């Protein structure tokens, strides 16, 4: 019976740990029946298998380190080996795995990450949202919108808002607008019905920034309204000015000119830069 490729790899790895076989033996042919009939293992394959085996360790830090190493290889095969970490019972290991699988094709990464948006742990949900943004997969937009509108924790909602900007899909404009300015937003949310408290500034900044990243003119009324809202946090208004510059539509110029006289010098500077960018010339 011929020895399977996986079995042979385990023999090689075990031998290297014991000092019996050097790791470079993977590039040679061993005198075991069937070895000569397949291509030799590469150093990369050997390293992936080494880290895969470490994922079964009872030591948390060893599993985490293995996932970190798999992610640092930036190779689809290494990311597939890291998929096992998504089911780890420890939150920090799950989060490390979420980052380690991002060398898979975008939609494949997103498919494996989306279920973690429902994890009971805030840290896992938040970091999964950020990871989904890095995939740039449009299949993640709808699940992220659901988190943005309905998750109970602002840190998770802010991460979802930021991720939607990274993906850049126009269908996220209306949900983001509904968060930045509920009066102008077009999406009804469960959170609106449950409470009236002011929105978290971090979530508002993330929503404004993402509207700018997406760059769709449909977000202009909301961004202009946020810029003109003198009751809003100064950094939310600044982020709205920066976002208006990113959209680059001249209809925002009157509101930006008005913001030039704001008491907050950073807001005034942001408005100045936005006007210059939209006009394509330096202000006098």
What does the pLDDT look like over 166-201, one tens digit per residue? 999 999 999 999 999 886 544 445 555 455 567 899
Q: Which residues of 197-222 are buried (b: 16+ CB within 10 A; e: fewer)?
A: eebbbbbbbbbbbbbbbbbbeebbeb
Cβ contact 79:134 at 8 Å:
no
Q: Which residues of 234-254 are buried (b: 16+ CB within 10 A; e: fewer)?
A: bbbbbbbbbbbbbbeeeebee
Q: Which residues contact 211 (CB under 8 A, 6 or more apart)?
A: 165, 173, 176, 177, 180, 219, 222, 223, 243, 247
Q: Across residues 249-272, what is the average pLDDT?
A: 96
Helices in 55-115 by DSSP H: which ranges? 60-72, 76-82, 91-100, 106-113
Q: What is the pLDDT of residue 5?
A: 57
pLDDT reading at 126 higher than 50: yes
Cβ contact 235:207 at 8 Å:
no
pLDDT reading at 45 higher than 70: yes
Q: What is the pLDDT of residue 103?
A: 98
What residue spans define the domains of the chain?
90-167, 183-190+198-284
Is there a common fold for 90-167 and 183-190+198-284? yes
Q: Across residues 158-167, what is the average pLDDT?
A: 98
Q: Whole-number mean pLDDT of the chain? A: 87
Confidence of residue 157 (pLDDT cuts 50, 70, 90): very high
CA distance 84 to 162: 27
Q: What is the pLDDT of residue 246?
A: 96
Count of H helices and E strands in the chain?
Answer: 16, 0
The pTM assigned to this predicted structure is 0.83
pLDDT reading at 217 higher than 70: yes
Q: What is the pLDDT of residue 150?
A: 96
For the domain covering 183-190+198-284, report its CATH number: 1.25.10.10
Give the count of beta carbons closer than 10 Å to the beta carbon of residue 112.
18
Cα 253–chain centre separation? 32
Q: What is the pLDDT of residue 26?
A: 45
| Fold held by 90-167 | 1.25.10
Extended strands (E) in 27-95: none
For 99, the token pair is: 């980052």
For 30, the token pair is: 């061993």
pLDDT reading at 145 higher than 50: yes
CA distance 160 to 149: 9
Q: Across residues 233-246, what is the average pLDDT?
A: 96
């Amino acid at each position: 019976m011929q020895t399977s490729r996986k079995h042979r790899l385990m023999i090689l790895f075990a031998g290297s740990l014991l000092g019996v076989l050097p790791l470079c033996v993977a590039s040679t042919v061993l005198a075991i029946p069937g070895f000569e009939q397949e291509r030799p293992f590469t150093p990369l394959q050997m390293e992936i298998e080494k880290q895969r085996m470490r994922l079964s360790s009872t030591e948390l830090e060893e599993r985490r380190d293995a996932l970190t190493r798999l992610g640092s290889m930036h190779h689809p095969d290494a990311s597939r080996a890291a998929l096992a970490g998504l089911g780890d019972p420890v939150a920090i290991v799950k989060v490390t795995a979420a980052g380690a699988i991002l060398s898979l094709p975008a939609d494949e990464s997103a498919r494996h990450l989306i279920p973690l948006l429902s994890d009971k742990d805030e840290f896992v949900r938040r970091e999964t949202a950020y990871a989904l943004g890095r995939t740039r997969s449009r299949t993640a937009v709808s699940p992220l919108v659901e988190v943005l509108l309905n998750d109970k924790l602002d840190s998770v909602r802010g991460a979802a808002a930021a991720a939607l900007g990274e993906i850049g899909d126009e269908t996220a404009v209306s949900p983001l607008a509904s968060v930045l300015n509920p009066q102008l937003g077009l999406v009804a949310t469960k959170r609106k019905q449950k409470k009236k408290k002011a929105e978290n500034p971090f979530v508002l900044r993330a929503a404004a920034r993402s509207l700018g990243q997406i760059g769709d003119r449909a977000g202009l009324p909301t961004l202009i309204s946020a810029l003109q809202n003198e009751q809003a946090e100064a950094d939310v208004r600044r982020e709205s000015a920066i976002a208006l510059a990113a959209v680059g539509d001249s209809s925002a110029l009157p509101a930006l000119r008005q913001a030039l006289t704001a008491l907050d010098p950073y807001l005034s500077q942001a408005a100045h830069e936005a006007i210059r960018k939209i006009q394509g010339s330096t202000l006098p």
